Chain A
Amino acid sequence: MNDMILAVENLRKTYGGVTAVDGITFAVQAGEIVGLLGPNGAGKTTTIDMILGIVEPSGGMIRVFGQDFRTHRAVILARVNFAAVYAHLPGNTTVRQNLFIFGLLYGVSHLRERIAALLKEFNLEKLARTKTGLLSSGEQSRVHLAKALLNEPKLLLMDEPTASIDPSDSEIIREKIKTYAKQNRAAVLWTSHDMYEIESVCDRVLFISHGKIVLEGDPRELPALYGKKNLEELFIAVAREPLSLHVSV
């Protein structure tokens, strides 16, 4: 139980009459990378946003490091971080300035040294004084990742971190995160539409459809278990006929 980083119980989110997340329950252990898969609108981002505290759940419970998110928000978020394709850092401040501001917000100790180390690790030293909005997609993704690792989070949420960047930069990001999770025993929740990426990174995947978890397991074993050639074929089946697939288990 000490290895449990994130525990989500019966989590629900409704917008008016529309149910975005419908009572999902799952957990992520220390050092584990869990993929959250599903078609657009399945509820992946809403789930991540609820864990980040920027969307209020309609019901259920989120526990991080064994603490209730509702009552320990600031303490929990100091040890959580994220990178998402839709959450750009302000473009009108430089890379170093952005890292400095967020370092203050996350209470990073020895901030200047930490920023210097991250700039070096993500090959951003020459871009440190460049306004973030002037960077290419790949460079911005590296900056987002540097920001995501600033506070050495024990829970890292990655919402399509490699979307719209080239295979080379994607590979770098995947390797960095895998290494980080193993070395720091950090839990990672990762969404992507790239099934190759999911197979190469994730220890376990959760398929979400219509706000519910319909499948769960090892991404390298699941396709065969459901009579599919690969993870992509399984994804398409889940996206198109989730209920029939669920029943056939």
Chain B
Amino acid sequence: MTNIKHIFAIFWRQMLLMRGNAFRPLNLFYFSALELFLWGVLTVYLDRTTGTGFHFVSLVLGAVILSSFMSRVVFGISASFLEDVWTRNFINLFSSPLSLHEYILGFVVVSIVESSVSLVFMAVLAQILLSYHILSFGLLLVPFAAVLFVFGLAMGIFTTAVVMRFGPSAEMVVWSIPPLLAPFSAVFYPLSALPFTLQKIAYFIPATHVFEGMRGVVLTGSLDWQSLAVGFALAVLYCIIAYWFLYRSYKSVLRRGTFARFATE
């Protein structure tokens, strides 16, 4: 049984936190804007100086925007979960009728809202500052964003499970997963630029299929739908595995009784 009110309560709590402190909404925009500006200036510079006609801006900025979108999905879940770690709120939450899946679904809604706001902001900023139009991908943005969203959920749930299982000292996993994945996801360069062994690893990362697909569209005007489908299937598989791991972590916490002394773990 899923109770919509429980999901709304978790989502609304995050929105209240956002409303109660000016720095929280700023988080949604600050790093995205910084990243966009850095890569934007660099690619404009490369476009101008190389004079090869190679479109650095088109190739990199779309990937930067969608990569940032994925990071927001991850943090929409894991950073929201950390609020309960920091405020030691687990006893209150899990002694109420709230179930684990409702708790996570609440964070999924947070993720949808935060990542959508961040995506729109970056798209507008890229258009104003760098004359880059991410909408030039048209409807293809939908499958690209869908794969990254599901993969982001998987990573968010996985990192949440790690912190739940190993305690607050594992918090660094939350912040380090998106940057750790970036080099293997071929965000800024084609898959072929990676050493052969790393290419094999990269193939199993759903985001790789999205960023390779985006480059394909820019360079050849066509999309490898089969590769994108593989990316989506992997993302769904990882989501299922991540939730299974989270459930096991939750059961382990109940068995070890660590909700009551979570801060000491």
Contact = CB atoms under 8 A, between A and B. Distances in A.
Given A54-B254, A91-B87, A104 B6 contact: yes
B95 to A, nearest CB: 4
Contacts of A13: 257
Contact of B96 (A84, A88, A105): A105
Given A90-B89, A101-B9, A77 B256 contact: no
Contact of A54 (B5, B84, B91, B251): B91
Interface in A75-108: 75, 77-78, 80, 82, 84, 86-94, 97, 100-102, 104-107
Nearest to A16: B256
Given A77-B96, A77-B97, A102-B92, A55 B260 contact: yes
Interface residues of B, number: 34
Given A93-B17, A93-B20, A55 B99 contact: no
Interface string B228-242: 000000000000000
B20 A56 contact: no
B88 A88 contact: yes
Given A56-B254, A92-B17, A92-B87, A74 B260 contact: no
Contact of A107 (B5, B12, B20): B5
Interface in B25-58: none
Given A92-B87, A107-B3, A49 B12 contact: no
A115 to B, nearest CB: 14
A54 B94 contact: yes
Nearest to A80: B95
Contacts of A147: 92
B1 interface: yes
Nearest to A13: B257
A195 B29 CA distance: 55
A86 B260 contact: yes
Contacts of B6: 104-105
Contacts of A74: 1, 3, 97, 99
A74 B94 CA distance: 10
A53 interface: yes
A104 B5 contact: yes
A158 B91 CA distance: 13
B interface: dominant SS:
helix
A162 interface: no
A45 interface: yes
Contacts of B96: 77, 102, 105-106
A84 B91 contact: yes
A52 interface: yes
Interface in B64-90: 83-84, 87-90
A104 B6 CA distance: 6
Contacts of A54: 90-91, 94-95, 254, 257, 259-260
B80 to A, nearest CB: 12
B189 interface: no
A33 B97 CA distance: 23
Contacts of B91: 49, 52, 54, 84, 86-87
A105 B93 contact: yes
B97 A107 contact: yes
Nearest to A91: B87
B1 A89 contact: no
A213 B27 CA distance: 53
A189 to B, nearest CB: 13
Nearest to A54: B259
Given A54-B95, A97-B16, A104 B260 contact: no
Interface in A37-88: 45-46, 49, 52-56, 73-75, 77-78, 80, 82, 84, 86-88
Contacts of B255: 56
B254 A89 contact: no
Interface string A128-144: 00010000000000000
B98 interface: yes
Nearest to A55: B257
Contacts of A131: 20
Contact of B257 (A49, A97, A101): A49
A94 B89 CA distance: 14
B97 A45 contact: no
Nearest to A79: B97
12 contacts: A15-B256, A53-B94, A53-B254, A56-B257, A74-B3, A74-B97, A82-B95, A101-B13, A104-B5, A104-B6, A104-B8, A107-B5
Interface of B: 1, 3, 5-6, 8-9, 12-13, 16-17, 20-21, 83-84, 87-99, 251, 254-257, 259-260
